[in-house]
């Protein structure tokens, strides 16, 4: 996968992760609760669907699929502890590539170690960024990154601290080399 395609997939995955939150906020803004903690369910659902449709139409192309669920056949297991949101984007034509996004309440270091163990146990060769580089990149918070390969597959994984929630945003970009 070339660098431009990687950036497009990563940006699309980030937008996709924010989709549910944006759509929910749009629905709430258009129809605030009539009483604290309550809203008209039918109107809220219509607004949510309209917002999702708007954002998905912006991100949709003929060659890309965007969903909120990570498929079970994704080459790496999806972290599943304290997960609040997921997203998945993959190519449908050309070179096979995919990006999975996960937001969890767990700490970046714990999530990163979990992935390192899963990759090692599944026979992937991986190389993590040096602590010095991660510290330099993570001036605003903790950042953990690694590259891994197995057969004709490659993965780029990053776990970053979400300063607002103190949780972790995980990004996994997978590519199959021919």
Q: List, in sequence order, every residue forming a beta bridge with 126; answer none if it has no partner.
A: 148
Q: What is the average per-residue pLDDT within 152-177? A: 91
Quick one: pLDDT at residue 13? 46
Say if residue 170's pLDDT is above 90: yes
Say if residue 134's pLDDT is above 60: yes
The span from the CA of 42 to the CA of 108, in Å, is 38
Which are the contacts of 170, defined by CB distance < 8 A and separation ≥ 6? 79, 100, 101, 102, 103, 104, 111, 115, 157, 158, 159
Q: What is the mean pLDDT of the chain?
A: 76
Quick one: pLDDT at residue 1? 42
Q: How far is CA 110 from CA 24, 105, 115, 117, 170, in A?
A: 29, 11, 9, 11, 12
Say if residue 136's pLDDT is above 60: yes
The span from the CA of 160 to the CA of 80, in Å, is 16
Task: Decide which of 39 and 107 is more confident.
Answer: 107
Say if residue 29's pLDDT is above 90: no
Quick one: pLDDT at residue 38? 53
């Amino acid at each position: 996968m070339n660098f431009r395609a990687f950036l497009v997939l990563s940006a699309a995955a980030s937008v996709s992760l924010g989709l549910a939150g944006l759509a929910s906020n749009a629905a709430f803004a258009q129809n605030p609760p009539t009483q604290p903690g309550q809203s008209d369910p039918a109107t809220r659902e219509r607004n949510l669907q309209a917002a999702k449709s708007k954002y998905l139409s912006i991100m949709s192309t003929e060659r890309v699929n965007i969903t909120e669920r990570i498929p079970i056949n994704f080459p790496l297991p999806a972290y599943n502890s304290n997960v609040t949101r997921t997203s998945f984007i993959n190519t449908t034509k050309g070179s096979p590539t995919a990006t999975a996004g996960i937001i969890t309440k767990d700490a970046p270091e714990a999530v990163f170690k979990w992935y390192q163990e899963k990759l090692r146990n599944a026979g992937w060769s991986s190389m993590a960024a040096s602590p010095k580089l991660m510290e330099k990149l993570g001036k605003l918070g903790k950042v953990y990154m690694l590259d891994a390969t197995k057969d004709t597959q490659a993965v780029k994984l990053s776990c970053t601290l979400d300063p607002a929630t103190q949780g972790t945003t995980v990004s996994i970009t997978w590519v199959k080399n021919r």
